[in-house]
Amino acid sequence: MMDKGLKFQTEFDYIIIGAGAAGCVLASEIIKDGRFSVCLIEGGRKDTSRWIHIPATMFKTLNTQDASRVISEPDASLDDRNFVVPQGTVLGGGSSINGMIYMRGQAKDYNDWEINHGCVGWSYKDVLPIFINQEKNTRLSKPFHGKDGPLRVSDPEYKHPINSAIIESALQAGLSSNEDFNGANQEGTGWYQVTAHKGKRYSAATSFLKPQLHSEQLTLLTNTKAHNILFSNYTATEVAISNQYGQKKLKAKREIILSAGSFQSPKLLMQSGIGPEENLLRAGIDVIHNSINVGANLQDHIGTPVTMNLREKIGLHDEDKGFKAIKNGLNYYAFKRGLLTSNILEAGACIDTNGKGRPDVQFNFAPFAAGPPGKPPLPTHAVQVSPMTMRPKSRSRLYLDTSNPNASLKFYANMLADPEDLDTLRRGIRLAREIFQQRPISDMVEDEIWPGNGVSSKVGSNTLDDRIREQARTIFHPAGTCRMGPQKNDVLDLDLRVNGVEGLRVVDCSIMPALVSGNTNAPTMMIAGKAAEKILGSH
């Protein structure tokens, strides 16, 4: 049931904080079981904006109340630039504002979780069935894909000719063709599959939560802020919330679950007294449990565009203005076809650039020119191939410096602190330039906008390193700040229960011990599906 103010029941079996990719899936699975009541709390509004549901207008959501921005302290590895990470603050979370690319990562990512990080039960063979069961794929099927799940996954219904040209040029540059980035082999170039179908985005809210909204067992509170978790004898029992109706405490009879993402989940833990003791005391917060790794281990995929001007006016510039906008709108609303059905980032590549046997760089192809980090696209007809680090070595950290729950986190970004990440981006830029030298895309472009015609990509180019630091940006995949593991100093155990207390779990991509090699939307939904199995299996 939707938003019943504060005159509703205040006691539930489970309270889930955060209705994003993880929270929507988890709430849905618990409600479908039929035994338990759930209160799902979302700080943002309902997903009613049309910009959310039209695939091509995803970038417009970043400038609305449906997206907030987390801003770092000056980052020395980026020449003291502030690093900005947008976050979904709307029903569906990141799955309502992201690029809809459906990518799970590599099998070795999950095997490494088990082998290198001690996360037994989280290997690829353990998580693959969950991916399959969640998926309703329009083209692919077993052994890697599903046909009967709630999440629509399909091939792009609109394919921009510029993206077609980049794929062909990538093949000419020696890349292999890949028709399934989530199959036996991730390496190669091709069209992504997307969480969209018949001109509509399929977010976690649309796919998983919406069918359960009629249930009397579900209470959904949007525009509601969770301030902190309250404990009784080291057991999480209540959540303090506020919204337009006032303040209230909600009681959990079984568990409280944080699904607020890699920034807000650790923040809620720290506000509630679980975190590095020294930091909490300095912020004036009573310590419930000294958990030194809360807020640590923050990882994100970092990207830098290689951008070329187009010889002719065939890019996306001005497609949202004048006659072009009218044509695109009519085509979409009348027939559900054309440019507005596109996720824009329709194609890409995953490449092994260091010769270690698995892709370490992902490329996104796009027929526009991204502006400087945090700025709008450049007003020109252009094309870009954007390399990103798939398994970054650099780590960042989150802290609190006040007990005020409305204050921002202290985000200490070190996004290119590890030299290996800079090396990876250099290799990616060299390969992107090589792709642009191949036909047919070479016939369509002229001067290089970024890094610039005069900037060498040879090893040892200080100018290129400077340009990377200027342009490096988030690919919107922060993870790892409440990592799971077998050790007592890990934030969570392998069932995602918070160490040191009872009745409290974290279920979102903050639990990742290491970031997966690809987009995080599908893995986050998988994590929620696996958590649901653990939670329901314990009763």
> Can you give the pLDDT at residue 399?
96
Asked whether residue 130 carries a pLDDT value surpassing 80, the answer given is: yes
Q: Where are the beta strands (DSSP E) in 260-335?
A: 274-275, 289-290, 302-303, 306-310
Asked whether residue 6 carries a pLDDT value surpassing 60, the answer given is: no
Using DSSP's 3-state secondary structure scheme, residue 331 falls into helix
Region 111-125: mean pLDDT is 98
Smallest Cα–Cα separation from 421: which of 515, 284, 530? 515
Active site residue 381: no
> Can you give the pLDDT at residue 459?
65
> Can you give the pLDDT at residue 9?
81
77, with CB counted inside 10 A (0-12, 13-18, 19+), is buried
> Can you give the pLDDT at residue 410?
95
Q: pLDDT band for position 111 (50/70/90)?
A: very high
φ/ψ of residue 81, rounded to 5: -85, 145
Asked whether residue 222 carries a pLDDT value surpassing 80, the answer given is: yes
- Decide which of 7 and 162 is more confident: 162
Q: How is residue 77 written in tokens?
A: 């590895």
Q: What top-level class would CATH report for the domain 1-122+202-297+401-408+479-539?
A: alpha beta
Based on its alpha-carbon atoms, the radius of gyration of the chain, rounded to whole angstroms, reads 23
Q: How is residue 265 written in tokens?
A: 């989940």
> Can you give the pLDDT at residue 8?
63
Q: Does the bond joining 387 to the residue before it have cis omega, within 30 degrees of 0?
A: no
Q: What percent of the chain has pLDDT over 90?
A: 94
255's enclosing H/E stretch is strand 246-258
Smallest Cα–Cα separation from 476: which of 300, 269, 237, 262? 300
Give tens-digit pLDDT for 173-202.
Answer: 999 999 999 999 999 999 999 999 999 999
Produce one character per residue of 496-525: b if its CB has 16 or more CB atoms within 10 Å, e if not: bbbbebebbbbbbbbbbbbbbbbbbbbbbb
Asked whether residue 3 carries a pLDDT value surpassing 60, the answer given is: no
Q: Where along the chain do the CATH 3.30.410.40 domains lie?
A: 157-191+302-389+417-471
506's enclosing H/E stretch is strand 504-506
> Can you give the pLDDT at residue 538?
81
Q: pLDDT band for position 455 (50/70/90)?
A: confident
Give me the amino acid identity at 256. Answer: I
Give tens-digit pLDDT for 474-508.
Answer: 999 999 999 999 999 999 999 999 999 999 999 99
d(CA 444, CA 246): 58
d(CA 205, CA 223): 15
Contacts of 301 (CB under 8 A, 6+ apart): 362, 388, 389, 390, 392, 474, 475, 477, 515
Runs of H (alpha helix) within 207-310: 261-271, 277-282
> Can you give the pLDDT at residue 25?
99
Q: How is residue 226 written in tokens?
A: 């969770």
List residues bridging with 137 in a β-sheet.
153
Q: Does the bond joining 440 to the residue before it have cis omega, within 30 degrees of 0?
A: yes
Asked whether residue 4 carries a pLDDT value surpassing 70, the answer given is: no
Contacts of 323 (CB under 8 A, 6+ apart): none
Q: Where along the chain do the CATH 3.50.50.60 domains lie?
A: 1-122+202-297+401-408+479-539
d(CA 87, CA 62): 9
Q: How is residue 386 written in tokens?
A: 């954007």
Topology adopted by domain 157-191+302-389+417-471: Cholesterol Oxidase; domain 2 (3.30.410)
Length of the chain in residues, anyone?
539
Smallest Cα–Cα separation from 124: which of 524, 537, 432, 523? 523
φ/ψ of residue 152, rounded to 5: -70, 130
414 and 77 Cβ atoms separated by less than 8 Å: yes
Q: pLDDT band for position 279 (50/70/90)?
A: very high
Q: How is residue 347 written in tokens?
A: 């194609």
Return the residue matching tokens 């329709």: 346
Q: How many Cα atoms within 13 Å fall on the side-chain side of residue 41?
A: 30
Contacts of 449 (CB under 8 A, 6+ apart): 307, 308, 309, 369, 378, 380, 382
> Can you give the pLDDT at residue 462?
75
Region 378-393: mean pLDDT is 97
Q: pLDDT band for position 460 (50/70/90)?
A: low
Sign of the torsion angle spanned by Cα atoms 284, 285, 289, 290 = negative
Give tens-digit pLDDT for 306-362.
Answer: 999 999 999 999 999 999 999 999 999 999 999 999 999 999 999 999 999 999 999
Dihedral class, residue 318 (left if φ above 0, else alpha if ψ from -120 to 50, else beta): left
Return the residue matching tokens 């991916």: 131
d(CA 313, CA 284): 58
Give tens-digit pLDDT for 46-85.
Answer: 999 999 999 999 999 998 999 999 999 999 999 999 999 9
> Can you give the pLDDT at residue 364?
98
Mean pLDDT, the chain, as a whole number?
Answer: 96
Q: DSSP letters of 150-182?
A: SEEEB--SS--HHHHHHHHHHHHTTPPB-S-TT
Region 241-258: mean pLDDT is 96
Q: pLDDT band for position 149 (50/70/90)?
A: very high
Q: How is residue 510 written in tokens?
A: 């903050």
**3-class SS letters over 367-434:** CCCCCCCCCCCCCCCEEEEEEEECCCCCCEEEECCCCCCCCCCEEECCCCCCHHHHHHHHHHHHHHHH
Return the residue matching tokens 């200080």: 462
Give tens-digit pLDDT for 12-42.
Answer: 999 999 999 999 999 999 999 999 999 999 9
φ/ψ of residue 232, rounded to 5: -130, 115
Asked whether residue 264 carries a pLDDT value surpassing 80, the answer given is: yes
417 and 77 Cβ atoms separated by less than 8 Å: yes
d(CA 117, CA 297): 13
196's enclosing H/E stretch is strand 196-197
Q: pLDDT band for position 461 (50/70/90)?
A: low
